[in-house]
A = this chain, B = another copy of it.
Amino acid sequence: MKLNKTQIHDINQKDLKSHESDFNYLSDKLTNKGLDVNSIVSKLKDFQVAIPSWALGAGGTRFGRFSFYGEPSSLEQKIDDIGVIHALTQTAGAVSLHIPWDIPSDYNAIKEKADALNIKFDAVNSNTFQDQKGAQETYKYGSLSNTSKAVREQAIQHNLDVINIGNKLGSKALTVWLADGSCFPGQNNFQTAFQNTQDSLIDIYKGLPDDWKMLVEYKPYEPNFYSTVIQDWGASLMLANGCGDKAYTLVDLGHHLPNSNIEQIVSILQLKGKLGGFHFNDSKYGDDDLTVGSIKPYALFLIFNELVYGMENNPQNPDLAWMIDASHNVKDPLEDLIQSLEAIQEAYAKALLINQADLKAAQLHHDVVKCQEILQDAYRTDVRALLQQARLDAGGALSPINAYRNLNVRNELITERGKNTVATGL
């Protein structure tokens, strides 16, 4: 299924007047405060977030998975789904492939399809946390960190294969999420595991094309429940530094211990020029992989405040690889992703409203009350009209969720694909 601009344009008509009134009202207010509304809208338009190829079907937990209808059963169909989201939101112009779940059978065909939908190939993801059918070695006790050289070599080669696949599609980054760790005290020697990981990453890094980045993800626990080799940003940064200039840390919002101050981590990584990628989601308890902004939207805003600051002040960082990394256990995956994209754009827009010069001045005067007022003034502003304007300019829907429903997308997909298809992934 493919949405065209006319469909979306037609759907927008009903709310256009109301939007214009909202936008004018807000635009005046912001202009009066000295903000450049056009520039903000333009930045929102430019901000594109990758959709991972595994996130288009229903998610589940170790206790099971409830089926969802009309899931994509091929990479082609997955890209179609992203096409739908992108047509509506104009924010999802990239796909992040997970290998081996989504190895293209016909590279040219896939590239053409993506191109037609205006979708780029962002970072490619390797998988050494599951055993593939027919694999020689098992990752049960680790992959890049394993004490067994044969296992490590298999895992390294897999990452090199992933680079190769990505290279054919125009990707420029490899994301390494390493689930390696241990479930019980004593199971692993921490130092050996760390050293093996460093060595393995260096071997992968050697195979990285010159214009690629390597993104090293961290996570404190799950699927290992006692220790994880790359448990926090400190470990990730150390390993990235051990590889070289093209290796960076990747922050996933759900991969932190309770009460972590994530915005500070983001800020310091940017200061050091080592923030390379970002996975969006939200959570209340652990790596819950909930819709972005559904639980702690203010924390997301604070993180975007740092990101905006870093994009302006820390040129030592590369363009970040943005991706949604959420799971869809009880919602239509496409609707869920649309809600996530909206929340990301909202947080970004609000962060762009912050008057950085005023904030700096208040900080210098230790005027803590004023600092808070500045942040809250931005956060309390209803920025939805800005997001709508950005989408409108780009040919998207004023309200992507409503348009999705009015256009009966899910029913169309079920008709096309049948009810009980299952997407590859978790």
A interface vs B, CB < 8 Å? 22, 25, 29, 59-64, 66, 129-131, 138-141, 147, 179, 182-192, 194-195, 220-223, 225-227, 231-235, 237-238, 257-261, 263-264, 267-268, 270-272, 283-286, 288-291, 293-299, 302, 305-306, 309, 313-314, 329-332, 335-336, 339, 346, 359-360, 362-364, 366, 368-369, 371-376, 379-382, 384, 401, 426
Contacts and interface: CB of A to CB of B under 8 A. Distances in A.
Contacts of A375: 185-186
A6 to B, nearest CB: 25
Q: Name, among A225, A233, A268, A314, the residue most crowded by chain B CB atoms within 10 Å (CB to CB).
A: A225
A151 to B, nearest CB: 10
Contact of A264 (B231, B259, B290): B231
Given A141-B330, A225-B288, A268 B373 contact: no
B257 A187 contact: no
Of A190, A369, A426, chain B has the most CB atoms within 10 Å of the CB of A369
A371 B264 contact: no
A220 B380 contact: no
Nearest to A426: B62
B237 A259 contact: no
B261 A284 contact: yes
A220 B285 contact: yes
Given A306-B190, A372-B184, A372-B186, A225 B290 contact: yes
B147 A364 contact: yes
Contacts of A360: 189
A268 B191 contact: yes
Contacts of A232: 232, 234
Contact of A223 (B63, B139, B141): B63
A372 B261 contact: no
Contacts of A373: 339, 401
26 contacts: A59-B62, A61-B62, A62-B426, A64-B131, A140-B330, A141-B368, A183-B290, A183-B329, A184-B291, A186-B305, A191-B267, A191-B271, A220-B285, A221-B285, A225-B288, A225-B290, A232-B232, A232-B234, A233-B234, A234-B238, A257-B259, A294-B372, A330-B366, A332-B369, A339-B369, A346-B380
